[in-house]
Chain A
């Protein structure tokens, strides 16, 4: 078996090798660190690679597994964290110049839980500055493993590209308007935004308190489930879903911004569901066209409050358009913000009404395949990019992007499954079932095969 085959196995498969003694956690981590060394210069996925901590964690996992202590599916498995998640003694930059030397004293609880589950932290991944939609020139863009001239998406692009390229088995991201699901879609992997509040955000640098979520990115929905369990420190049941008789409601299939190849892949995924016995039909969500405006009218003021001291004292340290977006938040009246908050409750009622007639909703994850650069949040393109992901930040409903196929340039196309509040297990189970129906979509990028 080649190193590449090892490094792109599923978490259950790699776990079997670790437990059978065919592979040790130290060997696996060493191979992973070597691959990071080889590929990161092309991809720019990591801001900090934690060599020593990784090898120390791998040695501990090796001792424990040999002595019969088994911490579960993530024991000895290399993972990564987006670099806005606090790690004790390891710098946490948020992709910014402002926090370039920031070293937290404590781990975020989700990181502590992963360590307790035996996961091996190999590094902190690159992101858009403060997760706010813009690359900071000090760090640069994370390139897409499927085409290095394109972006891996944002803001959790480093996590997505690292997973897709086999530089770790899973990674944690955060999602305020699509920042897990957009890069997952661009990189051809699974990215899951759980229900709002499900994962603790303590020790995770905020972008917008009422919209922020943390969640897993992985090469399959099942691996995402396992990482989510590790983040939570408790079970997320593996649901074996029979698609026969399940009802899916299609939303946001069309729109002027949607590329034809995205519709083609999306329709093929819907046909696959139908062939497995599911019912698929269009549903309407009243007011959905206002979600773009509502998102920004919530996001901008919340983000600006978080940055109020730094934007006054050192505005030049932000990337130019991050600065503009932060300034914008100071000009939005409280009534505009609160109306947008009211709209979120209205929109959620519309979604729950639709979900009383179908089991799940399904849409394209993004209107297009990976572009060459990330569009700014505050702009037509930025709104169009997040049009299919951001509504679920407004409502807080769980939403999963999984790879459903490839477009004209051989670039991945994601499909999004949305469930009722706290339906994590069902959404991920449906993701697994759909991935089984689309085996040709579950492959690693050519970069990883080089």
Chain B
């Protein structure tokens, strides 16, 4: 099971990622997450291609301007 050359995903890797974030997952449950996770990473790859540079990641989305 792989998501493509850029970010190969396996149940073991998914379980390790969850473990690092604080959740223990069996390999069986990790495997169930793979198809959705691959889709999320594909979306992220497209967002990354926008090269958003130093665009802020926090604060009001419109910079606080009013109507």
Contacts and interface: CB of A to CB of B under 8 A. Distances in A.
Interface of A: 196-197, 287, 290, 292-294, 296-297, 300, 304, 308, 311-312, 324, 327-328, 330-333, 336, 338-348, 352, 378-379, 394-397, 419-423, 426
Contact of A311 (B14, B23, B33, B58): B23
Contacts of B56: 342, 345
Contacts of B50: 287, 290, 343, 346
Nearest to A339: B47
Nearest to B9: A331
A150 to B, nearest CB: 26
Interface in B1-40: 14, 17-18, 21-25, 29, 32-33, 36-37, 39-40
A421 B64 CA distance: 9
Contacts of A296: 40, 43
A324 B32 contact: yes
A196 B12 CA distance: 39
Select the residue from A331, A333, A396, A420 with max chain B CB neighbours within 10 A: A331
A330 B17 contact: yes
Select the residue from B25, B32, B52, B65 with max chain A CB neighbours within 10 A: B52
B61 A395 contact: yes
Contacts of A348: 61-62
A312 B23 contact: yes
Contacts of A378: 36
B1 to A, nearest CB: 14
Contact of A327 (B29, B52, B60): B29
B38 to A, nearest CB: 11
Nearest to A398: B67
B43 to A, nearest CB: 2
B23 A352 contact: no
Interface residues of B, number: 34
Interface string B38-52: 011111101110101
Given A344-B61, A345-B61, A331 B33 contact: yes
A426 B67 CA distance: 10
Nearest to B59: A345
17 contacts: A196-B60, A290-B46, A294-B43, A296-B40, A296-B43, A297-B40, A304-B21, A330-B18, A331-B33, A336-B41, A343-B52, A345-B56, A345-B57, A394-B61, A396-B61, A420-B67, A422-B66
A352 B62 contact: yes
Contacts of A292: 43
- Smallest CB-CB A-B distances: 5 pairs: A293-B43, A341-B57, A348-B61, A330-B23, A330-B21
A426 B6 CA distance: 47
Contacts of B66: 421-422
A423 B67 contact: yes
Contacts of A327: 18, 23, 25, 29, 33
A290 B47 contact: yes
A320 B46 CA distance: 30
B41 A379 contact: no
Contacts of B48: 339
Contacts of B22: 308, 312, 330
Nearest to B43: A293
Given A421-B66, A426-B67, A297 B43 contact: yes
B43 A331 contact: no
B15 to A, nearest CB: 9
Contacts of A396: 60-62
